[in-house]
Amino acid sequence: MADSISIKSFTFRYPGSHRNALSEVSLEIQAGSCCAILGPTGAGKTTLLQAVAGVLGAHHAQAAANGHIQIGSVVHSPLPRSILFPRVGLFLQDPTVQISGIRDNVEDEVRFTLDNLRVGDEEAVQRVRIQLEELGLGMLATRPLSQLSGGELQRVALAGMLVASPPVLLLDEPLNSLDATAQARLLRLLATFRGRHTVVLTDYGIDAALRLADRVVVLSEGRVLYQGAPAGLVSRSEEFVDLLPADSLVRLSGLAGDERIPSPERRFFRKILGAL
Amino acid sequence: MTIGIPEKLALTLFLVVAAVTLPWNISALLIAALLSARTLIPALRPLDQTARRRFRKIFFVLLCLVAVMTAVNSVFVRSGAVWAEIAGIRLFEGGLLFGLTTGFRLLLIAAAFLVLFGSTSIGAFADYLNHVGIPGPIATTALLSLHFLDHLPERIQQIFIAQESRGAPLRGNLVARIRSFFLLLSPLVLSSIVESIERGTALELRGFHLGISLRTASGPGNRHWSPTTVALLAFSIILVVYRLTLWLIPSP
Amino acid sequence: MGTRFTQRIADELQGAGLPFLAFAVVLNLALGQITSALKIPFYMDMVGTVLVAVLCGPWSAMIAGVLSNILAAFVGNPTMMFFIPVVLAIALFTAFLARRGWFRRISLVVVGGILQGVVAAVLSAPIAAYLFGGVMFSGTDFLVLYFRSVGNSLLESVFFQGLASDPVDKTVTYVIVFLVIRSLPVRLVSRFNGAANVLPRAPSGPS
């Protein structure tokens, strides 16, 4: 059963920092929906996900924070003080660090999560089998982890989280290390989660948002600049010229049927943003 | 006769005690016996080609070092009669005996551990530690360490190449090499600290907390010792008592 | 007792986790190999243990040290196992100094390193002398031989060799750990249980 997420006026500053990592962030994400959080590096996307997952509260007890975060019916003020797994699953940017390092093959690696949750043997075996099939890893069940490709490792890491069936799924730039085929596969999979899980994913570009998201949030320097339907972002693409990568802008302007930007200027934008 | 981890640990303990308590010629015989057993007994054979190569390389290097140290000791430790004189350099019996004793002691201890670790997978070892009550964090840390150890040479190589391409003097005099050591140290340590913390977070995000014991594929362990284990432990105790007795009771 | 011990480790590793401990073990093993490859006359086999002692606490530092010495046998140096008592003492002593703020100032770090080196020399001399006859298959063996050749007993020779090398080695180790911690972002250091040992006072809240 998916959970809703409600964030109200959330502000967070890391210890030793002189500026807020997140400032007065307010978001509403409906249960079972998909929300894409966009923004450049340093915008606060990862910080926001880690705040919701409980990582910030667990590991930065001395940090200054205001506001509150509500997941389902549970209100955390200002933020969760312990990691909320298995209610909230967080998939990190680097999939390789999510491989435990203490299991040898794919099946055992995915089972590691259920062992931590003290799930019984029979149930664990079944859940692992189902999860591996869902992610196309059934044939690799007994394969040693050292023999997997980067994309396969990412799927194993994802399976290791999904096997716990968290109602809320947070994915930090999940498409980054994948080729186009693997990206398409992952997006198709995430589309099947609608209704079953609440999905929040961050991305540098617009693709996932346009293909998947019910709601898009644009973050910059810890503040929310836009939140709403993806269509709204399309009509306001010029406002985010400095924040989104060139290919995203080109797609947005194409979607808007916007021929006002002539080719030489489009090339100029690409050059400037490429240099950045 | 089954040789499992308890038996191998008992054998290693016995060989270490023997190395410390018995004369060098017995140590030499035990080394020969161990090398034969390593070939003949399946449970003592190296798990894979890597273990086999590692054993050969380390054992050969140690053997050469023993020869060198024995020779050097027989020159510098001037006790006992002169055993030989080569090109004007006198070799003393006392130094020779000292060199042989310490050399074969180290060689036997090294061989015992190399056989133990070469023939036992770390996963099985960590599971065994868990079964006998060693706290989970220790066994898990050991497993994680070996996981990192596998990837570390690659990372060190990458840092070497990166620093060299920036003009760091990785060869040269001692001062230059010390400087390049610190150039290597900083990125290695900092990146490893960051990565290890991320891994710790990732484990927590999968519900892992200290104190959870590792699941074992083989099921609950058998805590009863086999006759082989008991015999080896008994021999070890006898040797220790024998040696202590010799030390405490002065010879007439 | 297992539960209490595990809880103590859990408290010390709060915010860092077991992989940090494992990394410290590997650092101990790896730095020794790097110094050997670069032919630098230091051991550097305690950097990880000292790092854990300062940032986490004594119990986890002892685990890091003990595991390093045991795993050293796995990579071909089994004599290290016999120096576990020395490692335990180093872990405890370093954590003691860190709790008293000795890792906030470089001058105290240097003094602490020298003291640590003397402690290490005193504790390791009997082990090296009586178990291994002073022969450790390293460059310092020749120093032991020299001291013996001028008339010192085996124990004295090993002790003098230790006094000649351990204070320098441990001081360099302490300075390295001090510099490493100083170069870490405050955000990262603040996660550790021993952050108060090395950090200045926290800044004011968000505006």
pLDDT in tens, A139-171: 999 998 888 888 888 889 999 999 999 999 999
Q: Which residues contact B9 (CB under 8 A, 6 or more apart)?
A: B116
pLDDT confidence of residue A156: 93
B-chain residues near A97 (CB < 8 A)? 195, 198-199, 202
Which whole-number Å values give the CA distances from B248 to B16, B239, B244, C153, in the listed order? 21, 14, 6, 20
Q: In chain C, which residue's Cα lies nearest the Cα of B58?
A: C76
CB pairs under 8 A between A and B: 61
Structure-block tokens of residue C50: 């000292």
Q: What secondary structure, in 3-state letters, does chain B show?
A: CCCCHHHHHHHHHHHHHHHHHCCHHHHHHHHHHHHHHHHHCHHHCCCCHHHHHHHHHHHHHHHHHHHHHHHHHHHHCCCCCEEEEECCEEEEHHHHHHHHHHHHHHHHHHHHHHHHHHCCCHHHHHHHHHHCCCCHHHHHHHHHHHHHHHHHHHHHHHHHHHHHHCCCCCCCCHHHHHHHHHHHHHHHHHHHHHHHHHHHHHHHCCCCCCCCCCCCCCCCCCCCCCHHHHHHHHHHHHHHHHHHHHHHCCCC
The residues pairing with A228 across neighbouring beta strands, listed in sequence order, are A216
- The model carries a pTM of 0.79
* Record: contact C34-B112, CB cut-off 8 A: no
Average pLDDT on B12-34 reads 92
* Angle at which helices A106-116 and A150-162 cross, to 10°: 30
The most confident of B109-113, B132-136, B206-210, by mean pLDDT: B109-113
Given a contact as 3+ CB pairs under 8 Å, which chains touch A?
B, C
CB C71 within 8 A of CB C25: yes
Tens-digit pLDDT profile for chain C (207 aa)? 467 777 888 888 877 788 899 999 998 988 877 777 777 767 788 999 999 999 999 999 999 999 998 888 777 677 788 889 999 999 999 999 999 999 999 999 999 999 999 999 999 988 888 777 776 666 677 778 788 878 888 888 888 888 888 899 999 999 999 998 998 888 888 888 888 888 875 554 444
Q: Is the pLDDT of residue A50 over 80?
A: yes
pLDDT confidence of residue B183: 75
Q: Does A262 touch chain C (CB under 8 A)?
A: no
Average pLDDT on A185-202 reads 89
Residue from the list B69, B152, B178 with its beta carbon closest to the beta carbon of C30? B152
Rounded to an integer, what distance in angstroms lies between the CA atom of residue A90 and that of residue A54? Answer: 10
The domains located in chain C, with CATH, are 2-198 (1.10.1760.20)
CB A112 within 8 A of CB A102: yes
Residue A187 φ then ψ, to 5°: -65, -40
Region of A42 (left: φ > 0; alpha: ψ -120 to 50; beta: rest) is left
The pairing of beta strand A34-38 with beta strand A215-220:
parallel
- The residue among A49, A83, A97 with the most chain B CBs within 10 A of its CB, best to mutate, is A97
Q: In chain B, which residue's Cα lies nearest the Cα of A58?
A: B201
B88 burial type by CB count under 10 A (0-12 exposed, 13-18 middle, 19+ buried): exposed
The pairing of beta strand A215-220 with beta strand A223-228:
antiparallel
Q: Which among A53, A43, A50 is positioned nearest to A22, based on CA atoms?
A: A43
Rounded to an integer, what distance in angstroms lies between the CA atom of residue C164 and that of residue C114? Answer: 11
Of the two residues C181 and A185, the one the predictor is more confident about is C181
Of the two residues B183 and B25, the one the predictor is more confident about is B25
The gap between the terminal CA atoms of chain B, to the nearest Å, is 44
pLDDT confidence of residue A276: 47
Q: What is the DSSP string of A183-199?
A: HHHHHHHHHTTTTTSEE
Rounded to an integer, what distance in angstroms lies between the CA atom of residue A164 and that of residue A37? Answer: 24
Q: Does C151 touch chain B (CB under 8 A)?
A: no
Quote the ipTM score.
0.83
B-chain residues near A55 (CB < 8 A)? 201, 204-205
Q: Which helix (H) or strand (E) holds C30?
A: helix C18-37
Core vs surface per residue C108-142: b (16+ CB within 10 A) or e: bbeebbbbbbebbbebbbebbbebbbbbbbbebbe
* Per-domain boundaries in chain B: 1-120, 135-216
Tell me the pLDDT band of A23, cut-offs 50, 70 and 90.
very high
Q: Is the pLDDT of residue B216 over 60?
A: no
CB B213 within 8 A of CB B221: no
Structure-block tokens of residue A66: 């205001």
Rounded to an integer, what distance in angstroms lies between the CA atom of residue C89 and that of residue B8? Answer: 29
* Angle at which helices B49-76 and B93-118 cross, to 10°: 170
What's CA A33's distance to the chain center, in Å? 13
The amino acid present at A14, given as its one-letter code, is Y
| CATH code given to domain A1-87+166-239 | 3.40.50.300
Residue A77 φ then ψ, to 5°: -125, 120
The arrangement of strands across the sheet holding A168-172 comes to A88-91, A168-172, A198-203, A34-38, A215-220, A223-228
**pLDDT over 70 percentage in chain A:** 84
- The residue among C28, C49, C75, C135 with the most chain B CBs within 10 A of its CB, best to mutate, is C135
pLDDT confidence of residue B215: 42
A203 burial type by CB count under 10 A (0-12 exposed, 13-18 middle, 19+ buried): buried
Q: Which among A25, A16, A17 is positioned nearest to A51, based on CA atoms?
A: A25
B-chain residues near C39 (CB < 8 A)? 174, 177
* Per-domain boundaries in chain A: 1-87+166-239, 101-164
Q: Which helix (H) or strand (E) holds A8?
A: strand A5-13
pLDDT in tens, C167-198: 999 999 999 999 989 988 888 888 888 888 88
Structure-block tokens of residue B139: 């066994």
Using DSSP's 3-state secondary structure scheme, residue A275 falls into helix
pLDDT in tens, A211-256: 788 899 999 899 998 898 887 776 776 666 666 666 665 665 555 5
pLDDT confidence of residue A59: 86
Average pLDDT on B106-127 reads 82
CB C158 within 8 A of CB C125: yes
Q: Is the pLDDT of residue B218 over 50?
A: no
Rounded to an integer, what distance in angstroms lies between the CA atom of residue C16 and that of residue C57? Answer: 12
Q: What is the DSSP string of A234-249?
A: HHTGGGGTTTS-HHHH
* Record: contact A112-B144, CB cut-off 8 A: no
